Structure 1
């Protein structure tokens, strides 16, 4: 357990920490996408739904970049 705690200290500079954070962010992005798909009404055109999902995924990737990758650069 200490290994996991030490690997998740920011800024992450090891593979295990980046893998753990990537899995956490993928789960959160999947949850946001699932919620978006569930609560977007079917009356909205397909293109608008796709843009909303793209925005949710883009925000997740941006947050991952700002918290994990950018502090190590």
Structure 2
């Protein structure tokens, strides 16, 4: 547990910390998008809903890059 706490301190300069933050960002984005899609009418095709979830996850990866990776470069 100490290794995880140390790896998540900002600025992140190790692979484990970057991986943990990426998973957290993607899971959060996926849960938010899935909850939002629950309220979108069923008239929208499943493929369009999947594209919306994909775009939200891409945005979360971009935010992860800007907040976690970019400051350490």
| Alignment TM-score, normalising by the size of structure 2 | 0.72
The number of residue pairs the alignment matches comes to 73
Contact 2:33 2:53 in 1 (8 A): yes
2:46 & 2:2 partners in 1: Cα distance? 47
Show the counterpart of 1:64: 64
RMSD: 2.3
1:27 & 1:45 partners in 2: Cα distance? 23
Contact 1:18 1:68 in 2 (8 A): yes
| Alignment TM-score, normalising by the size of structure 1 | 0.72
The unaligned stretches of length 5 or more in structure 2 are none
The unaligned stretches of length 5 or more in structure 1 are none
